[in-house]
Amino acid sequence: MSLAPEFKVVFQPSGRMVYVLADTTVFEAAARAGLMLQTPCGGRGSCGKCRVRVVAGDVAPSAACRQFFSAAELQQGMRLGCQVRLVSDAVIDVPAASLYESAAARILTDGQAHDLHVQAMVEKTWVQLAAPTMADPAADLMRLERVLGPLRIKLSLLRQLPAKLRANNYGGTAVVCNGDLLDFEPGDTTSSSFGVAFDLGTTTIVAVLLDLNSGAEIGVAATMNPQVNNGDDVISRICAARDSQANITAMQDAVIQACNALIRQLSRDHGVQPRHIYEVTIAGNTTMQHLFCGITPAALGEMPFAPAFSRALVLWACEAGIRLEVNEHARLYVFPNIGGFIGGDTVAGILATGLWDCKDTVLLVDIGTNGEIALLHQGKISTASAAAGPAFEGARIVNGMRATSGAIEKVVFNGNDLQMNVIGNALPIGMCGTALIDLVAELLRLEVIDCTGRIVTADEVPQLPEAIRQRLHEADAQVNVLLCSAADSGTGEALYLYQKDVRELQLASGAIRAGINIMLSRLNLTADDLDSVLLAGGFGNFIRRRNACRIGLLPALPLARIRFVGNAASAGAKAALVSRKLRAIAEQVATAAEHVDLSMDAEFQMEFAMAMMFPQQ
Amino acid sequence: MSLAPEFKVVFQPSGRMVYVLADTTVFEAAARAGLMLQTPCGGRGSCGKCRVRVVAGDVAPSAACRQFFSAAELQQGMRLGCQVRLVSDAVIDVPAASLYESAAARILTDGQAHDLHVQAMVEKTWVQLAAPTMADPAADLMRLERVLGPLRIKLSLLRQLPAKLRANNYGGTAVVCNGDLLDFEPGDTTSSSFGVAFDLGTTTIVAVLLDLNSGAEIGVAATMNPQVNNGDDVISRICAARDSQANITAMQDAVIQACNALIRQLSRDHGVQPRHIYEVTIAGNTTMQHLFCGITPAALGEMPFAPAFSRALVLWACEAGIRLEVNEHARLYVFPNIGGFIGGDTVAGILATGLWDCKDTVLLVDIGTNGEIALLHQGKISTASAAAGPAFEGARIVNGMRATSGAIEKVVFNGNDLQMNVIGNALPIGMCGTALIDLVAELLRLEVIDCTGRIVTADEVPQLPEAIRQRLHEADAQVNVLLCSAADSGTGEALYLYQKDVRELQLASGAIRAGINIMLSRLNLTADDLDSVLLAGGFGNFIRRRNACRIGLLPALPLARIRFVGNAASAGAKAALVSRKLRAIAEQVATAAEHVDLSMDAEFQMEFAMAMMFPQQ
Q: Is A586 helix (H, G, I), strand (E, B) or coil?
A: helix
Share the mean pLDDT of chain B. 91
Cα-Cα-Cα-Cα dihedral sign, residues A431, A436, A440, A445:
negative
3-state secondary structure B124-144: EEEEECCCCCCCCCCCHHHHH
- What's the gap in Å between the CA of B155 and the closest CA on chain A? 7
Cα-Cα-Cα-Cα dihedral sign, residues A457, A462, A467, A468:
negative
Q: Is A612 helix (H, G, I), strand (E, B) or coil?
A: helix
- Out of B137, B156, B158, the one facing A306 most closely (by C-beta) is B137
- For A332, name the nearest residue in chain B, comparing CA atoms only: B155
A159/B296 CB distance under 8 A = yes
Give residue B578's Cα distance to chain centre: 19
Number of Cβ pairs closer than 8 Å across A and B? Answer: 151
Assess contact for A578 and A109: CB atoms under 8 A: no
- What's the gap in Å between the CA of A340 and the closest CA on chain B? 8
- For A165, name the nearest residue in chain B, comparing CA atoms only: B308
d(CA B283, CA B281): 7
- pLDDT for position B108: 36
- For residue B140, the chain A residues in CB contact (below 8 A) are 299, 306-309
d(CA A3, CA A428): 9
- Out of A142, A163, A306, the one facing B139 most closely (by C-beta) is A306
pTM attached to this predicted model: 0.85
d(CA A314, CA A507): 39
Neighbour count for residue B40 (Cβ, 10 Å): 14
3-state secondary structure A495-544: EEECHHHHHHHHHHHHHHHHHHHHHHHHCCCCHHHCCEEEEEHHHHCCCC
- The β-bridge partners of B176 are B123, B181
d(CA A91, CA A10): 5
- For residue A158, the chain B residues in CB contact (below 8 A) are 293, 295, 308-309, 313
Question: What are the φ/ψ torsions at residue A591 (nearest 5 degrees)?
Answer: -75, -40
- For B319, name the nearest residue in chain A, comparing CA atoms only: A155
- What's the gap in Å between the CA of B19 and the closest CA on chain A? 45
- What's the gap in Å between the CA of A69 and the closest CA on chain B? 54
- pLDDT for position A455: 97
Neighbour count for residue B157 (Cβ, 10 Å): 19
d(CA B354, CA B372): 17
Assess contact for A114 and A90: CB atoms under 8 A: no
Tell me which of A181, A295, A328, A600 to substitute to probe the interface with B (most B C-beta atoms closer than 10 Å). A295
Tell me which of A142, A143, A145, A155 to substitute to probe the interface with B (most B C-beta atoms closer than 10 Å). A155
What ipTM was assigned to the predicted interfaces of this complex? 0.84
Could you tell me what percent of chain B has a pLDDT over 90? 72
A320/B296 CB distance under 8 A = no
Over residues B107-118, the mean pLDDT reads 47
d(CA B326, CA A276): 36
Q: DSSP state, A230? A: G
- Out of B296, B305, B320, the one facing A137 most closely (by C-beta) is B305
B140/A308 CB distance under 8 A = yes
Q: Is A610 helix (H, G, I), strand (E, B) or coil?
A: helix
Rounded to 10°, the helix B604-611/B499-522 angle is 130
B320/A135 CB distance under 8 A = no
Query: How many angstroms separate the Cα of A305 from the Cα of each of B134, B170, B317?
Result: 8, 15, 34
- For residue B320, the chain A residues in CB contact (below 8 A) are 154-156, 159
d(CA B119, CA B195): 12
- What's the gap in Å between the CA of A185 and the closest CA on chain B? 17
A299/B132 CB distance under 8 A = yes
The phi-psi region of residue B426 (left if phi > 0; otherwise alpha if psi is between -120 and 50; otherwise beta) is beta
Q: Are strands B362-366 and B532-536 parallel, antiparallel or unpaired?
A: parallel
- What's the gap in Å between the CA of B341 and the closest CA on chain A? 11
d(CA B611, CA A430): 99
A158/B305 CB distance under 8 A = no
Question: What are the φ/ψ torsions at residue A447 (nearest 5 degrees)?
Answer: 65, 20
Q: Is B176 helix (H, G, I), strand (E, B) or coil?
A: strand
Residue A180 contacts by C-beta under 8 Å, 6 or more apart in sequence? Answer: A151, A152, A153, A154, A329, A331
User: Of the spans B14-18, B68-72, B124-128, B131-135, which averages the highest pLDDT?
Assistant: B124-128
Q: pLDDT tens-digit profile of B67-89? A: 999 999 999 999 999 899 999 99
Q: pLDDT tens-digit profile of A155-213? A: 999 999 999 999 889 999 999 999 999 999 999 999 999 999 999 998 889 999 999 99
d(CA A547, CA A191): 48
d(CA A443, CA A449): 6
B158/A306 CB distance under 8 A = no
d(CA A6, CA A10): 13
d(CA B543, CA B548): 7
How would residue B157 be classed by pLDDT, with cut points 50, 70 and 90? very high
- The β-bridge partners of A440 are none
- What's the gap in Å between the CA of B142 and the closest CA on chain A? 7
pLDDT at B171 over 60: yes
- Out of B139, B156, B296, the one facing A320 most closely (by C-beta) is B156
- For residue A135, the chain B residues in CB contact (below 8 A) are 600
- For residue B313, the chain A residues in CB contact (below 8 A) are 155, 158
Assess contact for B439 and B545: CB atoms under 8 A: no
d(CA A234, CA A291): 11
Residue A32 contacts by C-beta under 8 Å, 6 or more apart in sequence? Answer: A18, A20, A409, A542
- For residue A320, the chain B residues in CB contact (below 8 A) are 154-156, 159
Assess contact for A80 and A45: CB atoms under 8 A: yes
Name which of B356, B188, B210 is nearest B281 in CA terms: B210
How would residue B115 be classed by pLDDT, with cut points 50, 70 and 90? very low
- Out of A137, A162, A305, the one facing B137 most closely (by C-beta) is A305
- Out of B293, B296, B304, the one facing A132 most closely (by C-beta) is B304
B155/A305 CB distance under 8 A = no
Tell me which of B161, B287, B295 to substitute to probe the interface with A (most A C-beta atoms closer than 10 Å). B295
d(CA B28, CA B12): 15
A133/B304 CB distance under 8 A = yes
Q: Is A107 helix (H, G, I), strand (E, B) or coil?
A: helix
B137/A313 CB distance under 8 A = no
What is the mean pLDDT for each group of 10 consecutive residues in chain A (617 residues)? Answer: 70 83 86 76 80 93 92 94 92 85 41 60 96 92 96 95 93 97 96 97 92 91 90 90 96 97 96 98 97 96 93 94 95 96 95 90 90 95 91 90 89 93 88 96 97 95 95 94 95 96 95 96 96 86 90 93 86 93 95 90 90 92
B313/A158 CB distance under 8 A = yes
- For residue A162, the chain B residues in CB contact (below 8 A) are 295-296, 298-299, 308
Name which of A435, A403, A429 is nearest A495 in CA terms: A429
- What's the gap in Å between the CA of A136 and the closest CA on chain B? 8
Question: What are the φ/ψ torsions at residue A12 (nearest 5 degrees)?
Answer: -110, 155
Q: Are strands B418-422 and B407-413 parallel, antiparallel or unpaired?
A: antiparallel
- What's the gap in Å between the CA of B580 and the closest CA on chain A? 20
Alpha helices in A48-139 (DSSP H): 63-68, 71-76, 103-109
- CA terminus-to-terminus distance, chain B: 30
- For residue A140, the chain B residues in CB contact (below 8 A) are 299, 306-309
